[in-house]
Structure 1
Amino acid sequence: MQKFRSNGKLLLTGEYAVLNGAKSLALPTKLGQSMEVLTGKTGNLTWISYDENENIWFQSDFKIENGNFTPITLSTKQNLETTETAKRLQQILSSAYRENAQAFHHKGYKIITRLDFNRKWGLGTSSTLINNIAQWLEIDPYNLLKASFGGSGYDIAAAGNDFPITYQLTKNGPVSFTADFNPPFKNDLFLVYLNKKQNSREAIAHYRNQPIENIQDLANKISGITEQIIKSENLEEFKLFLKAHESLISKAINLPRIQTELFPDYPGVIKSLGGWGGDFILATGGKEEKEYFRKKGYQTIFEYQELIK
């Protein structure tokens, strides 16, 4: 048996702008996804995925034939999510085969994946899977990402790192470095899951429809803020840079800041994380500020050090 594991992720700076070369700060999480690979002789691949409560959320057999992985059984009721998951997994495995066909040297496989986090949280169910498969088959995870889900790739970089990283797309490809980001005020930071999925198509369209010089200017400004956030020595300084970042992205995607829209009376500072899609936010404050969110019905709250590596 082989076993692999990858970290989940949160993007502290650079949402949207990371696609155009902005230097971004990505935070690997202590929660991730593991994958066990066992070999067999059936000529098929059995896939079983467990959630954070050890319940099976997806299961299927795939027939392996000439580099194709065709779903042949679905053990759960074939709802839309199950069908789409099977199709996406078929796409990933077939792409992986094209990257390194030699790696599939056994007639059959049984693969078991286990998540540490709720799939709805947006911590990287897909990116941790891509990175685990890439480790198993010794292929480039960025190529596999491009052939399947697409995206900037910062989540892949976070999946394979145990420290905060800066991530940047350059003309020579993705570049990531360990970031010296260990704020002395981290006890005054916490994360809240909003459970407020939003359709981000309009935001992305507005962002992409801007003149290229505006987009490049935004990327340069975000890169500068990323550097300043990493260097922040106190909470007040950190909060100023968070506000500046939120204002720039808000204007670029034509959406109000999450703090303005949902929490206008919040005494601290709130920063959207990732694609402003209603997953996690970073908030500054202590016990009273956490209670503010609980009273509003937000019960999934993590201390910074509890979730971030």
Structure 2
Amino acid sequence: MNSRKKPYELILYEYLRIRRGLSSDENSKYRKLKKGYEGELLFDAYIDKIQCDYLSLTDLSFSHNNKFFQVDNILLIDNTIYMYEVKNFLGNYYYENNKLFIEPQQEIDDPLTQLKRSEALLRQLLKYLGFSNQLQAKVVFVNPEFTLFQAPRSSKLLLPSQLNRYFHKFRQCPPLDTSFYQLGEKFQSISLEKSPYTQPPTYQYNELKKGIPCPSCYKFFETVDGRTCICRHCDVRESLQSAVLRTIEEFIFLFPEQRITTDKICDWIQLPVAQKRIRYMLNKNFLQKGKNKGAYYVKMEGN
């Protein structure tokens, strides 16, 4: 079982939102990613309640026959393969003439169409991998404040009111066959790290605000009292080492090609902290390469 990770793009937008702000288009993309991720976590909560033997694989991206497709969740249970397309829609929706609308009259992409394509490609991939097990595909609407009128009588739709009953059927299942564990490992080994269609926003070091954002209100720390950072906006306190290491991780995420040096980190955190103190933290938590002015730091193995 692989635990769901926050998407790379969502993390990037969260960092940029604090350090330079987002354009209107970027903010729309950020809200969409955030809403989607929150919906996937709601779905995961149902999976976590399953008591019998299963494998749950999340956020899989595949390329097969030069065609790319993504799957929110694959559940291997009861010697069956289930694939789920998770939607966190909010509000009133309806079907009319085989098209999906959000009230009052705005047509949107039908997730059943997306599911049909992904299901077909996953079947092809399974056949290529030598698996012929039963595959069931569902679109799952997880938001309790979602309502769907004139829904087609499709067995591929799962509405919020149906989820408890649906997952209750998994309360007693036979042990998972060894071949399913092998399939799960294969899925994870061939899943792409990033979508080829990802277009992350561009940014430069000089345009980002320097400092350590408060983990609660996201305003920047201005005060250090001994070994503690104090937020003057919400009074949250965080140990200096925790705050510095957290912000170094952010630097590594945003600028993976740049070397971690004492001078660079001092400039990045912008706090009244002695350079030797930052160097001590780096020496304690990272591996030093080089010496004197050429010294830089890399992550230790296992971190």
**Shorter-chain TM band:** under 0.3
Greater share of strand: 1
TM-score (norm 1): 0.26
TM-score (norm 2): 0.26
- Tell which has more relative contact order, 1 or 2 (C-alpha 8 A, sep 6+): 1
Bigger Cα Rg: 2
